Structure 1
Amino acid sequence: LHQLLYSWLYNFKYNSFEDLIKSFHGKGLVISVGNHHFNFARSTIDNLRNIIKSDIPIEIFYYGDNDLSEDKRNILSKYDNVYLSDLSTYFNNSQLRLEGFALKPFSILASRFEEVILIDADTVYLRDPMTLFNDTGYIKKGTLFFQDRHFETSPFDSYKWLKTWINNPLPDTTKLRIWNEKTIDQMESSTVVINKSKGILGLLAACKLNEEKYKSIVYKHVYGDKETFWIGYEIARQPFYFNPLRPAIISKVESVNSETTRFCGHIGHKSEDGKFMYWNGHLLLDKNSNNPKLIDF
């Protein structure tokens, strides 16, 4: 049954489930990087190594030679304790057709680390991410997920869709804001912490949701990979843990017109001790702008 569900996992790099389990050990950071994200990733690693002085092992995943050029790989490989891995050599992509958001859960699965902190290339840390492994909820349940900002309106019908097929939800699911119809988006996935030995079935289910034939359905109801992590654990009936602290916003109050102001910017998060940990979006006000400007602190 397992080989039928995850046929892309076998007879490529791994010949058995045992091969997969034996392939990972230790703790480390994982970043999925393509040419477009290279400058962000390089800056993020510079920050970790030279500003906050973290020596956390880092594994960079890319998808084939065209995804991350050889010269860029050579630059990243010069950092201490940084490994580069080609995700296209791990699984049978004729079945998966991996790209974009879908690369993230598969990078966790393929990683050499047993305990993984997956971060986006443009995530800026103010403290050593290794401290996330000490979170009490993570130690108990093997995951540490972070909440997204509150959205009441969206092009997605997330909670309505979820309730059409999730029966007898886990206690962890019933506590979620999205399940209680208080927000459209529950999870923000610029940082995802997973102990694979504790929750491998949940991770595999999350990967399943990001297969080509399933993500074409899933992504119509939720935004990209974000919700697929906790949904995967719900499907596998494995408990999961969300940091209970609501996200922070890195921004300034802007005037829209004479009657309206807005507060919209990068999303950030605190660790369980209440100290600010990281934000997503790097140092640019708008990373997608043709004329990007730095955040004015």
Structure 2
Amino acid sequence: MDKHDSAKSGKGSLPGPKIPSKAAQIAHDATIKLQYAMNSSTISRIEGPNLFSMARHISTFARLLEAILADLSIDRRPFLDLRERYFGWWKPSSTTHLPWEAITNTTGIVLTAGQGNMALAAHAIRTLRNVVNTTLPIQVAYAGDDDLPAHKRRIMRALDPQLELINILDHYDEDVAGLRSGGYAMKPFAALASSFERVIIIDADTIFMQRPDEWFEEHAGLKRTGTLFFHDRAYGGRKTTDWVKNLLKESGQKPSTTLNSTLYWREELEHQQESGVVYFDKAIPGAFMSLLFTTYMNLQHVRAHLYGQVSGDKETFWLAAELAKIPYAFHPTYAGIIGPISTNVEGVPEICSPQPLQTDLYGRPFWFNSGLMEDKTNAENRKYANLTYYIPGGTRKQPVGGWRFIHDHTFCMGRSVEEMISVKDAGLGEVAKGLIDEAKAVDEMFRVTTG
């Protein structure tokens, strides 16, 4: 065989250039797009509260992150550089769970607490541990010593030996984040800073009647998207709906299938989401970038614009995913109510309470908001909630009889007695009793501790 034959057969020839993988091509294109945007005049729009500019960048980041996780041979330095340039206000620590550096796959619960809601948070922590018996680690985020002084932190640690306290100010540029006065805004910041890969974010006044642990495996929407949100009460009102519709119209963006199918969108409810519990699987790139976008929406200068249109942080979780065209999931039912049966002036049976209830996949009580006091807004009222009956929320239409707003956080829902379900008959009577007993024990501990 001469050299020409050798060349034909390929023997002894040099290897051809390596063809980039599909993931590498996606990463290259996304990197170029983000670098161009950062180096062009659009930087001014990135830094301001222009939600659609940031939504496009978040969507590109999600594709880039998915690519570098799919192909370990891709150089990650451009991604890390862009992450720092776009989100310089975020300062990940050595304990922050980052999908591109993940070495553990932990699941945990995160809540924020300060002096103002410390007792509510204590109820939530101790009932999680001692009543529904979760074994998940719990992290409590606070905004510096003024928010939760050292002696208060010692009291919190006494609630649970496994409890971890995080000073959220160590993880962000306070001049940009504004967390000392953040209030509700702190929740996404706490979730992003957390060491957990799979995180359950809860309000300080959220009370579980069942363990939250298994939902990452059991809920199809959460497994598919890495997110799970819960609907608020199906209460009529157009303020937020009109604003969101105008927002999408201005951008020329059509509502996603998820949004278009909701009662909130079709019948113009006042609120879409009850953010007392939010699930994120940060291992899924879209879910992680959606959380980062939610955090951006709650930065000081952005929320100053947003909170005039929506009630605190609650709508920012799903809206971030919607604007960035990232898949997200809602539990199908709207909020119901839990409390005692009474009769209104027209003789109609109803349940009145400030506690909106979320049910599980089988219609049984899962969790409720507004704590374990009859009225958490009235410091003089030391009565505990009456957790005897409940009305589950619906999925397709506003509830028959509707919601009736009374005062502060209290609503009533009228139904026939036959439609009001006993908590005991749902198999959770002992849990309901245990919740109240645990709250009383915590309050007694606080009374003795604080004198």
Answer yes or no: same fold by TM over 0.5. yes
Deviation at 1:249, TM superposition (A): 0.3
1:25–1:66 CA distance, 2 compared to 1 (3 A): farther
Alignment match of 1:117 (pick from 200, 204, 207): 200
Question: Is 1:186 the counterpart of 2:268 in the alignment?
Answer: no
1:55–1:259 CA distance, 2 compared to 1 (3 A): closer
Mapping 1:213-224, distance limit 5 Å: 213-224=301-312
The SS at the match of 2:265 is coil
Deviation at 1:191, TM superposition (A): 0.5
1:217–1:83 CA distance, 2 compared to 1 (3 A): same
Q: Partner residue of 1:171?
A: 257
The SS at the match of 1:72 is helix
> Structure 2: how far apart are the matches of 1:123 and 1:161?
28
User: Do the aligned residues in 2 keep the contact of 1:159 with 1:181 (CA within 8 Å)?
Assistant: no
Mapping 1:23-34, distance limit 5 Å: 25-34=105-114
Q: Partner residue of 1:137?
A: 221
The SS at the match of 1:113 is coil
Question: Is 1:225 the counterpart of 2:313 in the alignment?
Answer: yes
Structure with the larger helix share: 2
1:210–1:128 CA distance, 2 compared to 1 (3 A): same
Deviation at 1:109, TM superposition (A): 0.6
User: Do the aligned residues in 1 keep the contact of 2:108 with 2:137 (CA within 8 Å)?
Assistant: yes
Mapping 1:1-297, distance limit 5 Å: 1=38, 2-9=83-90, 12-13=91-92, 21-22=100-101, 25-78=105-158, 79-98=160-179, 99-134=182-217, 135-153=219-237, 157-166=239-248, 167-198=253-284, 199-254=287-342, 257=345, 263-265=351-353, 266-292=355-381, 293-296=383-386, 297=388
> Structure 2: how far apart are the matches of 1:175 and 1:6?
33
Higher mean displacement: 42-51 or 142-151: 42-51
Deviation at 1:55, TM superposition (A): 1.1
Report % sequence identity. 29
Structure 1, unmatched stretches of 5+, are none
1:66–1:268 CA distance, 2 compared to 1 (3 A): same
Q: Which amino acid aligns with 1:222?
A: V
> Structure 1: how far apart are the matches of 2:97 and 2:348?
58
> Structure 1: how far apart are the matches of 2:349 and 2:132?
35
Q: Greater CA radius of gyration, 1 or 2?
A: 2
TM-score, normalising length from structure 2? 0.60
Deviation at 1:4, TM superposition (A): 4.7
1:18–1:291 CA distance, 2 compared to 1 (3 A): closer
The SS at the match of 1:8 is coil
Deviation at 1:194, TM superposition (A): 0.7
Deviation at 1:50, TM superposition (A): 1.6
User: Do the aligned residues in 1 keep the contact of 2:97 with 2:196 (CA within 8 Å)?
Assistant: no
String of CA shifts for 1:58-116, please: whole Å, max 9, x gaps. Answer: 01101101111212212322413221110000011111212101101111111110111
1:127–1:253 CA distance, 2 compared to 1 (3 A): closer
The SS at the match of 1:165 is helix
Deviation at 1:257, TM superposition (A): 4.5
Higher mean displacement: 19-28 or 172-181: 19-28
User: Do the aligned residues in 2 keep the contact of 1:132 with 1:271 (CA within 8 Å)?
Assistant: no
Root-mean-square deviation (CA), in Å?
Answer: 2.4
TM-score, normalising length from structure 1? 0.90
The SS at the match of 2:120 is helix
User: Do the aligned residues in 1 keep the contact of 2:201 with 2:278 (CA within 8 Å)?
Assistant: yes
Deviation at 1:260, TM superposition (A): 8.1
Q: Partner residue of 2:72?
A: none
The SS at the match of 1:61 is strand
> Structure 1: how far apart are the matches of 2:88 and 2:344?
52
Structure with the larger strand share: 1
